[in-house]
Amino acid sequence: MELVHRPRRLRDGETIRRMCRETRISADSLIYPIFVDEVLSGKREIESLPGQYQYGLDCVEQAIAECIEAGVKSCILFGIPAHKDAHGSSAWDPEGVIQKAIHKIKAAYPDFYVVTDVCMCEYTDHGHCGALCDYKVDNDATLELLCKVAVSHAHAGADMVAPSDMMDGRVAAIRHALDEAGYKNVPIMAYSAKYASAFYGPFRSAAGSAPSFGDRRGYQMDPHNRKEAMKECQLDVEEGADIIMVKPALSYLDIIRECSDAFDVPMAAYSVSGEYAMIKAAAQAGLVDEYRIMCESALSIFRAGANILITYYAKELAAAIQRGDVG
């Protein structure tokens, strides 16, 4: 048989396979989520996220040291405050848990890149992502609070802020507030297409951020919708987002691809807690090869068009990239 095209020629050996890879990733593209608990001493494993920890302010530098050792150069911080109230006032307190964590990290590792989650759910006593009016989140009142949070994080030394609340107009409001406060060079990574997903359960347990009533479908996106994601991303780009994000990642690869193709800004994706927990559970049951699933899942997200990946596997992926198993 005479075949002109034999695609297998480029698969015949590891060297040629790696030479011809279309998708290449780097540890520089990985962001590691870190939970900081204001009242905790030391660190505590998160039951819903095996292998992940809540860190006290007395040892948050340990989490950064582990990232650096693994080759990860950036984190995103989530705070668990000692005090919660209806408006989440500890979120913008200069002596709040995230503000203190930033100070400690930057004092020990000034070149480590710190992104901060800007939202209210971890700080409100009702667990919703903003100020309430008649048991609904008041969009415009929440914008004022988010601006105060973002400016307080920038003042503490955050390199980037990442609003995850899904309020309308928050990127424009935060951009204006940062600029007015003298932080014109602090970029915004917007959670642009954040779906009301069932994959967030382990995170809400870890961060203590589950709503005390109702749900978040009034402000997070309906999983049925594709065009709406394009609209949300377009609005965020127009309002000044430097990076846009799709969350979750694996069930929304189509959204990552469409938004990546449509908008000329970096595309981030968040491989969320439920995705991580499912892989862990399947691996612990002996059903899958955790290492290979981790690598393949990450590759699928980058292949879909992501430039940046927030993942609980960041340290392990960095090691896999170093070994040449992915990247």
Residue 222: DSSP 8-state? P
H helix intervals, 82-200: 97-108, 139-156, 170-180
The CA-based angle 170-220-126, given to 5 degrees, is 85
Is the previous residue joined to 248 through a cis bond, with omega within 30 degrees of 0? yes
Residue 194 is among the residues annotated as catalytic for this protein: yes
Residue 167 · residue 139 · CB < 8 Å:
yes
Beta bridge partners of 78: 35
Output phi, psi for 194, to 5 deg. -105, 115
Residue 73 is among the residues annotated as catalytic for this protein: no
Closest to 117 measured CA to CA, from 160, 87, 157:
160
Active-site position among 73, 100, 148, 194: 194
Residue 226: DSSP 8-state? S
Active-site position among 73, 148, 247, 315: 247
Half-sphere exposure of 123 (CA within 13 A, CB side): 25
Straight-line distance from the first to the last Cα atom of the chain, in angstroms, rounded to the nearest whole number: 36
Query: To which residue do tokens 């100020």 refer?
Result: 131
Distance of CA 223 to the CA centre of its chain: 18
Burial classification of residue 151, based on how many CB atoms lie within 10 Å of its CB (0-12 exposed, 13-18 middle, 19 or more buried): buried
C-alpha–C-alpha distance, residues 165 and 192, integer Å: 9
Active site residues: 194, 247
